[in-house]
Each structure stands twice: as structure tokens, then as C-alpha cells.
Amino acid sequence: MQEQLDTAGEFSLVRRARSFVHAGRGIWVFLKTTPNAWIEITIFIGAVAAGIVVGLTYIEWILLVFAAGFVLVSEAFNTAIEIDINLTSPEYHPYAKDTKDVAAGAVLIASITALIIGLAIFGHHLL
């Protein structure tokens, strides 16, 4: 089932609604196929609970949500790249491995960044 790319530029509520349906399906595929996402969501839920306990400020909540979103978006892109590489390069190829490793490295960078933000936010409250 191949869809035509609509370049006419005409606004259509039906096409916008379809876009949301496709995006929702993408989120479902992401959550269904990515165990690390569930770990990251669990950590975020724990951080939210801790944030409620320590009484985060408005700005701290924004930073916490942004950091969690940064990690989940990175993981989603990593998953999309892995799906594409598995399709386009089913046989082992060193460039395919490099592509997957770089994408996974991006998730690690995002996770380390989120950890630093979390330590800064919660360290401040715990000290």
C-alpha cells in the first residue's frame, strides 16, 4: 500500500486527521518494539513522583519534562533508523552497523544529558 505525497498544498482537515492517525500508529510501533522506551518511561514516572515529593518549581518541571522528552525522541529516532537499516541492509554491512551504533550513541548522549539535568534538579532539593 503506497501513498502519494500530496504537494498541492491545499489544507484538508481529513488529511490532517490522517496525519495524526499515522503519527499515533508510529508511537504504537515505537512502544511495541522498543523495550528501552518502557524503561525510560518508568524512570520518568519515578522522577515525576520524586518531583511531587520534593515540590519542584515551575522551571524545574519544564526542565524535567524536556529532558524526558529528549530521551524518548532520541529513542524513537533510533528505533526508526534501526527499522530502516534492517529493511535496506538485511545482510551485515559495516556502514549499517556504524549507523545503528551512532543512533544508539545519540540515545546515550540524551540519557546522560537527562541524568545531569535530573541530578542538578534533585541534588539541589536534597542538599
Catalytic residue set: 75
First to last CA, the chain: 57
Dihedral angle computed from the Cα positions of residues 83, 84, 87 and 93, in that order, rounded to the nearest 10 degrees:
-100
Q: Residue 55: what are its φ and ψ, rounded to 5°? A: 75, 65
Nearest to 124 by CA among 54, 35, 42: 54
